[in-house]
Structure 1
Amino acid sequence: MKVVVAGAGRLGTKIAQVLVAAHHHVTLLDNDEERVAQLRHQTAGHLITGDACEPTVLEHAGARTADLVVVATGQDDTNLVASLLAKRHFSVPRVAARVNDDENAWLFDRSWGVDIALPTAAPLVSLIEEATGATDTVALLRLSKAGVDVIETAITARSRAAGQELSDIPLPEGTIVATIIRDGQPTPPSPNLLLQQGDEVLLVSHRASEREIHAAFQ
């Protein structure tokens, strides 16, 4: 799924982080250059600086081919204008917009291009699930809050792990195998499972980097 998130505040940044962890293509934009610079040290997808109310900025962010646009700035007028642009100018299938002032909630409907209105008083998890239409974001959000990374590595013919049992792979400290995706289906990670070419290994870790994981399997 291709997603554009406008507004790099708490909600926008967390939505971007959760979707990146779920391997979606995410572009996060904000008109605050300093804020964008700070986020470059975090996992929040592709980052750009710009005004979401400018069609050229939204197009640069990927709105023309986006499956979802989330407008989560701190200004309701900005959120409405950007939502209308996303829906009417770029024909984005799904547009979600943050409602900052409850008195403006009546404006956040299809006439302004808003498919999903996100009330400011709702819990963060609920907002993310509503915006993305996903039901699996809670676990990813909890992992993110706990400082746990979700890392995936693929087994190829050249991988050192190919043909080895899972128990023979020296995993970095604080890392566990969550599941093995084989032929499109999840497979329980039993110790004697023989890794094969084409397997996708999904791991969770609170210490290891992607480079360390890659070194263990590749």
Structure 2
Amino acid sequence: MKVLIAGAGRLGTQIAQVLSGAHNDVTLVECDEDRTAELGGLRQVRVVAGDACEPGVLERAGALACDLVVAATGHDEDNLVIGLLAKRRFGVGRVAARVNEEENAWLFDQRWGVDVAVPSATPLVSLIEEATGATDTVALLRLSRAGVEVIETAITEESRAAGRTLGEIALPAGTVVATVVRGGRPTVPRPEVRLLPGDELLLVSHEATEREIHAAFQ
């Protein structure tokens, strides 16, 4: 599934990480140049700099070929404009938008191109469950909303973890391996699973930083 996410705050970034980890084609659009620079380390997520309220930026980000657009900015007026452009100008099949202010919820309907309006109290969990049907992915997103980071790392020929079993890897405190993706298929992360170049791991942690987790494997 091709997904375009507008807004690279904490919510938009975590959604991008989870959906890309589930092997969706994800593009993240952000207008803040400093924030865009920080996102350079995201794996398997294309980052486009620009204002998603501008049709040219959406087109450059691939809106014409998208299956799903998620308007996840912190401004309701921007999310409404993005939703309307995605649906009316680019013909996107499904549009979801975050509602930041409860009094604006009545605006978020198909008149503005919004198929799924998600209140900020439960942001986008229901959307992802409906759009992907991937309950494991939704579970990971719920963890991230509870303050648990979802982090991806890949095993290469040079990785120190290549050829070792999961049981042999000393993980940072508060960190568990959620799944090992091999050949496009997720596998149960049993301790005896031996890591091979090309493997991708999704981990969840409520204490460790992304750098600490990558250090354990790379």
- Shift, 1:154, TM fit: 9.0
The answer as to 2:142 corresponding to 1:137 is no
In structure 2, the residue matched to 1:38 is 38
For the 8 Å contact 1:152–1:202, the answer to whether it is kept is: yes
User: Which of the residues 193, 209, 217 maps onto 2:214?
Assistant: 209
Deviations 1:159-187 (A, max 9, x none): x85xx9x58x9545558766666895746
- Paired residues for 1:3-42 under 5 Å: 3-41=3-41
Which residue identity lines up with residue 100 of structure 2 in the other structure? N
Which aligned runs of 4 or more in structure 1 are off by greater than 6 angstroms? 180-183
Of 78-87 and 33-42, deviating more is 33-42
Structure-2 change in CA distance of 1:143 and 1:71 (3 Å): closer
Structure-2 change in CA distance of 1:74 and 1:187 (3 Å): closer
In structure 2, the residue matched to 1:128 is 124
- Shift, 1:19, TM fit: 1.9
**Aligned equivalents of 2:182 and 2:92: distance in 1?**
33
**Aligned equivalents of 1:130 and 1:50: distance in 2?**
27
Q: TM-score, structure 1 length as denominator?
A: 0.70
Q: TM-score, structure 2 length as denominator?
A: 0.70
| Cα RMSD after superposing both structures | 3.8
For the 8 Å contact 1:154–1:201, the answer to whether it is kept is: no
Instruction: Name stretches of at least 5 consecutive residues in structure 2 with no aligned partner.
Output: none
**Aligned equivalents of 1:181 and 1:190: distance in 2?**
15
- Shift, 1:25, TM fit: 2.2
Structure-2 change in CA distance of 1:177 and 1:101 (3 Å): closer
Higher gyration radius (CA): 1
Of 56-65 and 70-79, deviating more is 70-79
- Shift, 1:24, TM fit: 2.4
- Shift, 1:138, TM fit: 2.6
Name the count of aligned residue pairs: 200
The answer as to 2:51 corresponding to 1:55 is no
